[in-house]
Chain A
C-alpha cells in the first residue's frame, strides 16, 4: 500500500510538495474559523486555497495582479457589507482570513513566504477568540507543528528528508521550546487587559440573568448548561438549601414585567442596617465572563470585598455590581453570613415602595388577597406568607419549564387558570399577593444551588441554576427570604433542576440522562473528572492573571526558601545532568577502545598516530622508536593482531580470545 504513495511523493517536485504543505498548514489555521465566518467568506477562502493547490499541482502561472486586486477589493467591500464595519473583532478576523488566502496566490519571492507564515501565526491566535478549550489547544499545537515544518521545508538546499522526518524535527524543536515557553507563561509579568477599549463585539452573545423579569425570562436560561461561576469553599460548604446566590432585586411591577426600582439621581442613600451572626463562610468565586455588571453572591455577602480590575458598588437592596461589564473570567474572594437580619427595625413608611402594585391589573388576585386578609385579620406577615405557600402546595400547582402563555392579567391567569409555571411565576405571584395584603415584598433573582464536583471540590453554578425567589419584610425580622418554588417543587431546592424537572428524553436517551444525573454512576464520575480537568485548565491556563501569578510565584518562592526543597531540587537537577552525560558517552567498540589506548600510550613517547596511518604503517614507524626488544615485540604483536581483527573476519570465539590477548599486551607496550 505504501508503494504508490511513495512514487506519488517522488513525482512531486520539491517546490510543489513544499507549497502543498504550506497550503495544508494554512487550511489547518483557517478551518476552525469556518464555524463562525459567514458562508461566503468560508467558501471564498476554500475556493482560493483549492485554486492555489491546482496552480501548484499543474505548474501553472499565478494569477496576475490586475485580476487579484479587484477581487480583493470586492472581498473587502463584502466584509464591510456583511459586518457594516471594517473594524472590530469579527470583521477583523474575516479580513485576516481573506488576506491569508489571497496572499497565498501572490507568493513570488522568499519574502512573501515569510509573510504567509507569519500571517498564519496571527490567524492561529485569533482562533482563541472563539474557543480556548483543551481540544482547541491540542489542535492548535498540531497546526503549529505543521506550520513550523512548512517554514523549515523552505530552508533546505540539497537533501530534503521525508515529511515524517521533517515533522519529527519540528516536534523536537517544539519540545526544546516547551520548557522556556512554560517559564515565560508562568513568570512573564502579566498586565490586566485590555490595553484599550475593546470593539463592541468583543464579548458578544453571553447569556445570563438580566435586570428585568417577565414570564419566560428564566425558563429560557434553564436549558443552558453554560457555567455561570465556580466556587471553591474555604470553610465548610453550607447546606444546599442555603445556597442562594443573590444577584438582582426587582421591585417595580407593571402588570407584566418586573424591573429594578430606579434610583433617582441625587437621592440620599438609606442607611441599611445589617446584623450578621456567626462566622462568615469564606469562599472564592471564579466568575465566567458575563458581559454584564451584576455579580451573584451567596446571601448575604459581607460588606467589603473587591473584584480585581473592577470597582464594586452595592445598592440599598444589597445587590453588588461592578462599574464596567465583567468581560473576562474573574476570580475574587468573598465571605457570606448565612444568618443575618437586614433592615430590621426600619421605619415602616420607608417600606412603602415595596407595596406598590399597578392599578387595574389582576383583579382576582387582589380579591384573593383581601379574602385571605379577612380570614385572619390579626395574622402576622409570616402567617399570611404561610397561607399563600400552603395554597401553592395543596392546590395542585405544577412546576414546569414550559408554562402556557399568559395574557394581560398574567398573575390571575396563573393563579386561577393554568396553575403551572416556573420559578419566576411563583415568585412574581407570591410578591403580588403579599403586597396586596400589605406586606412589603420584592422579587430576588440569582442562582440557587449548584453542582458539587467531588473530584476537585469546586461547586459549579450553571445558567440552568438561575432562580427567582422572594423577600418579605417584617418590622421585627427585617427582610426574610421566602422561596415559593420550594413549596411546589421542594426537590428544586434540595437537589437541582434536572431532578425536579426530568428533561423530555429524545430517541430513547432517557436512561443515559438518568445515568448522568445519578452522582454515583460511572458516567457522572467521568463527567466530574472531565469537569475538574476543564476547571483546572480554566484556572491555571486561561485565567492565569496578574493576581494568580503573584500568589503562585509567592508560593513558589516560599517553597524554595525552604532549604530542604531547594536541596531536593538541586539533587534532582544534578542527577538529570549526570544521566545526560552518561547517555551522551557513546558506547565504544572494545577493540577500538584498546587501539585508542595503545595510540595514546605511544603518543606520550612522541609517536602519535597520524590520521592517515593504518596499523601496519604505524608499526613500521614505531620500529625506529628507541625502546627495549620486549616492548618492540609486544607492539608488533599488538598491531598485527589488531589489524587482523579489524580488517579480517575472525570467528566470534577467537575474537573474544584475541581481545583478551590485546588487553594483556597493552601494558607491555607502555
Chain B
C-alpha cells in the first residue's frame, strides 16, 4: 500500500517536476528550465559554516566579519548560478549505436556540443538507472565532446537508449546540478548465438567424398571480382602482380561445386520441439558460422528469404530479421 503510494508519488514527481517524457528527436538544447539544482552535502555544511561565521561576527561586532560572511555567502550563490550554467545551453545529440548480440553491452554514442563562450568542465554523464554517473567530460567553449555510455542487453529486438542524467558540481562543489535527457537512439539487439554451436545443417547435397558440407574446396581457377565476393576468396597473389592503380583488376578465386551444394538456413526446418528463442539463437550462430567459413547461404525466416549470398549486408539483413522476429509489426 505504502510502496504503491510511494511509487505513485515518484511517478507524479518525475512527470511534473522533472518533466520526464519520451525521447526527443534530434538535437536537444538544455534550457535553464531543464536544469535542476540542490546543495550537496558539503554545500549544507557550508551553510552551517556561514551561520557560525555570522554568529561570530555578530558576537564580536566585527564589521569585516560581516563583510566576509556575506561575501562568502554571495560566493556560494554565485557558485549556484555557475553550476547551473555549467549544464545549461549544452546541445545534446545521439550518435551511432552499433548493433550488438543479446548479453553484450549496448554502447550509445552521445555528442555534447557547447556553442556558448563558457568552458564547461567536469560534466558527468550516466544512465539514470545506473545511479551516480561515473563518466566525466569537459566541453570547452565552441567545442564538442563524444561520450560512450554502455548498458547491458538482455533480449533481442530494439533497445531504446535509457534516460541519461547529466550531473555537474563545478566550480565549487557546493551544489549539484543535473538534467535528464532521453536520447532518440536505439540499438538493434541480435539474438545471442547459441553455445555450444551446433553443426551447420546438411540439407544441401553433400560432396561425394563425404567431408565438407558444401563443395567449395575444389579450386577451379580465377575470375574477375564481382561485388559481394568474400574477401577471403580474393586471389591476392594475382592481384599483387597487377596493381589495380595501374589498370589491374581484382580477381577472385573460383571454386567448383558451390552452386550446386547450397547451404540453406531454414527456420522452418528446425526441430519443432525447440523453443522459439533457442531456434533463433541457433539460426544466429549458423549465420555467423557460415559467414566465417565464407559459405554462401540462403536464409529463410517466415516471410524473409535472402540469398544465397555472403557478405556484411547479407549477414546484417539476416540478423536483423532474427532480432525482430515476431515484433515486426511493432518496430
Residues of A within 8 A of B (CB): 89, 111, 114, 118, 121-122, 124-126, 128-129, 132, 136-137, 140, 144, 148, 151-152, 154-159, 161, 169, 173-174, 176-181, 184-185, 188, 190-196, 198, 202, 327-328, 541-545, 611
| Among candidates B70, B119, B140, residue contacting A185 with C-beta atoms closer than 8 Å | B70
B138 touches A159 (CB 8 A): yes
> Assuming A158-B136, A159-B138, A544-B66, is B71 touching A177 (CB within 8 A)?
yes
9 A-B interface contacts by CB (under 8 A): A121-B49, A121-B72, A128-B65, A128-B68, A155-B170, A157-B137, A185-B67, A542-B63, A545-B61
Q: B8: CB under 8 A from chain A?
A: no
Q: Which residue of A lies closest to B81 (CB)?
A: A176
> Assuming A132-B63, A132-B64, A191-B58, is B172 touching A177 (CB within 8 A)?
no
Q: Give me 16 other A-B pairs in contact (C-beta within 8 A), A176-B82, A177-B71, A181-B71 excluded.
A: A118-B45, A122-B52, A128-B57, A129-B62, A140-B68, A152-B171, A157-B138, A161-B119, A173-B171, A181-B67, A190-B66, A193-B60, A195-B58, A327-B61, A541-B63, A542-B63
Residues of B within 8 A of A (CB): 27, 42, 45-46, 49, 52-53, 55-75, 77-79, 81-82, 119, 121-122, 124, 136-138, 140, 169-173
Max chain A Cβ within 10 angstroms of own Cβ: one of B55, B72, B74: B74
> Assuming A157-B138, A158-B137, is B60 touching A194 (CB within 8 A)?
yes
Minimum C-beta distance from B69 to chain A (A) = 7
B172 touches A124 (CB 8 A): no
Chain B residues closer than 8 Å to A545, beta-carbon distance? 61
Q: Which residue of A lies closest to B121 (CB)?
A: A156
Minimum C-beta distance from A109 to chain B (A) = 12
Chain A residues closer than 8 Å to B52, beta-carbon distance? 122
> Assuming A181-B73, A328-B61, is B66 touching A158 (CB within 8 A)?
no
B61 touches A173 (CB 8 A): no
Q: Which residue of A lies closest to B123 (CB)?
A: A157
> Assuming A128-B65, A193-B60, is B70 touching A114 (CB within 8 A)?
no
Minimum C-beta distance from B314 to chain A (A) = 29
B138 touches A125 (CB 8 A): no
Max chain A Cβ within 10 angstroms of own Cβ: one of B53, B56, B59, B67: B67
| Among candidates A89, A122, A188, A541, residue contacting B53 with C-beta atoms closer than 8 Å | A122
- Kindly state the separation between the CA atoms of A198 and B61 in the bound complex, as whole angstroms: 11
A157 touches B121 (CB 8 A): yes
Minimum C-beta distance from B282 to chain A (A) = 41
| Among candidates B61, B67, B122, residue contacting A158 with C-beta atoms closer than 8 Å | B122
Max chain B Cβ within 10 angstroms of own Cβ: one of A125, A151, A545: A125
Chain A residues closer than 8 Å to B68, beta-carbon distance? 124-125, 128, 140, 144
A195 touches B59 (CB 8 A): yes
- Kindly state the separation between the CA atoms of A318 and B59 in the bound complex, as whole angstroms: 32
A198 touches B60 (CB 8 A): yes
- Kindly state the separation between the CA atoms of A137 and B66 in the bound complex, as whole angstroms: 12
Minimum C-beta distance from B217 to chain A (A) = 48
B46 touches A125 (CB 8 A): no
A-B pairs, 9 with minimum CB distance: A542-B63, A177-B74, A157-B136, A181-B74, A184-B70, A180-B74, A176-B78, A181-B71, A177-B78
Minimum C-beta distance from B170 to chain A (A) = 5
B53 touches A121 (CB 8 A): yes
Chain B residues closer than 8 Å to A180, beta-carbon distance? 70, 74, 77-78
Q: Which residue of B lies closest to A114 (CB)?
A: B42
- Kindly state the separation between the CA atoms of A154 and B172 in the bound complex, as whole angstroms: 8
- Kindly state the separation between the CA atoms of A173 and B74 in the bound complex, as whole angstroms: 9
- Kindly state the separation between the CA atoms of A140 and B65 in the bound complex, as whole angstroms: 11
Chain B residues closer than 8 Å to A328, beta-carbon distance? 61
- Kindly state the separation between the CA atoms of A341 and B65 in the bound complex, as whole angstroms: 46
Minimum C-beta distance from A477 to chain B (A) = 44
Minimum C-beta distance from B321 to chain A (A) = 30
- Kindly state the separation between the CA atoms of A226 and B49 in the bound complex, as whole angstroms: 34
A151 touches B74 (CB 8 A): no
Q: Which residue of B lies closest to A152 (CB)?
A: B171
Q: Which residue of A lies closest to B76 (CB)?
A: A177
Chain A residues closer than 8 Å to B65, beta-carbon distance? 125, 128
Chain B residues closer than 8 Å to A191, beta-carbon distance? 58
Q: Which residue of A lies closest to B170 (CB)?
A: A155
A198 touches B59 (CB 8 A): yes
A185 touches B66 (CB 8 A): yes
A144 touches B72 (CB 8 A): yes
Max chain B Cβ within 10 angstroms of own Cβ: one of A132, A151, A181, A191: A181
- Kindly state the separation between the CA atoms of A111 and B40 in the bound complex, as whole angstroms: 12
> Assuming A122-B52, A155-B122, is B61 touching A194 (CB within 8 A)?
yes
B55 touches A195 (CB 8 A): yes
- Kindly state the separation between the CA atoms of A179 and B71 in the bound complex, as whole angstroms: 9
Q: Which residue of A lies closest to B50 (CB)?
A: A121
- Kindly state the separation between the CA atoms of A635 and B82 in the bound complex, as whole angstroms: 45
| Among candidates B45, B46, B62, B136, residue contacting A128 with C-beta atoms closer than 8 Å | B62
> Assuming A114-B173, A148-B172, is B60 touching A184 (CB within 8 A)?
no
B140 touches A148 (CB 8 A): no
- Kindly state the separation between the CA atoms of A552 and B76 in the bound complex, as whole angstroms: 27
- Kindly state the separation between the CA atoms of A22 and B74 in the bound complex, as whole angstroms: 22
B60 touches A202 (CB 8 A): yes
| Among candidates A121, A125, A178, A543, residue contacting B57 with C-beta atoms closer than 8 Å | A125
B172 touches A152 (CB 8 A): yes
- Kindly state the separation between the CA atoms of A190 and B46 in the bound complex, as whole angstroms: 21
Max chain B Cβ within 10 angstroms of own Cβ: one of A144, A161, A542: A542
Minimum C-beta distance from A274 to chain B (A) = 34
- Kindly state the separation between the CA atoms of A193 and B64 in the bound complex, as whole angstroms: 14
A144 touches B71 (CB 8 A): yes
Chain B residues closer than 8 Å to A198, beta-carbon distance? 59-60
Q: Which residue of B lies closest to A586 (CB)?
A: B117
Q: Which residue of A lies closest to B27 (CB)?
A: A611
A177 touches B66 (CB 8 A): no
> Assuming A114-B42, A154-B173, A173-B78, is B49 touching A122 (CB within 8 A)?
yes
Chain A residues closer than 8 Å to B119, beta-carbon distance? 161
| Among candidates A124, A177, A195, residue contacting B75 with C-beta atoms closer than 8 Å | A177
Chain A residues closer than 8 Å to B69, beta-carbon distance? 125
Q: Which residue of A lies closest to B124 (CB)?
A: A157
Minimum C-beta distance from B180 to chain A (A) = 21
Minimum C-beta distance from B34 to chain A (A) = 21
Minimum C-beta distance from B46 to chain A (A) = 7
> Assuming A159-B138, A195-B59, is B74 touching A178 (CB within 8 A)?
yes
Minimum C-beta distance from A452 to chain B (A) = 25
Minimum C-beta distance from B54 to chain A (A) = 9
Chain B residues closer than 8 Å to A156, beta-carbon distance? 121-122, 138, 170
Minimum C-beta distance from A183 to chain B (A) = 8
Minimum C-beta distance from A168 to chain B (A) = 12
Q: Which residue of A lies closest to B135 (CB)?
A: A157
Chain A residues closer than 8 Å to B59, beta-carbon distance? 193-196, 198
> Assuming A174-B75, A193-B61, A543-B63, is B137 touching A155 (CB within 8 A)?
no
A151 touches B172 (CB 8 A): yes
Q: Which residue of B lies closest to A187 (CB)?
A: B70
Chain B residues closer than 8 Å to A129, beta-carbon distance? 60, 62
Chain A residues closer than 8 Å to B53, beta-carbon distance? 121-122, 125
B121 touches A118 (CB 8 A): no
Q: Which residue of B lies closest to A118 (CB)?
A: B49
- Kindly state the separation between the CA atoms of A184 and B81 in the bound complex, as whole angstroms: 17
Chain B residues closer than 8 Å to A140, beta-carbon distance? 64, 68
Minimum C-beta distance from A121 to chain B (A) = 6
- Kindly state the separation between the CA atoms of A179 and B65 in the bound complex, as whole angstroms: 17
Q: Which residue of B lies closest to A161 (CB)?
A: B119
Q: Which residue of B lies closest to A124 (CB)?
A: B68
B67 touches A159 (CB 8 A): no
Minimum C-beta distance from A288 to chain B (A) = 13
Minimum C-beta distance from B270 to chain A (A) = 44
> Assuming A137-B67, A173-B79, A185-B66, is B73 touching A155 (CB within 8 A)?
no
A158 touches B42 (CB 8 A): no
Chain B residues closer than 8 Å to A155, beta-carbon distance? 121-122, 169-173
Q: Which residue of A lies closest to B48 (CB)?
A: A118
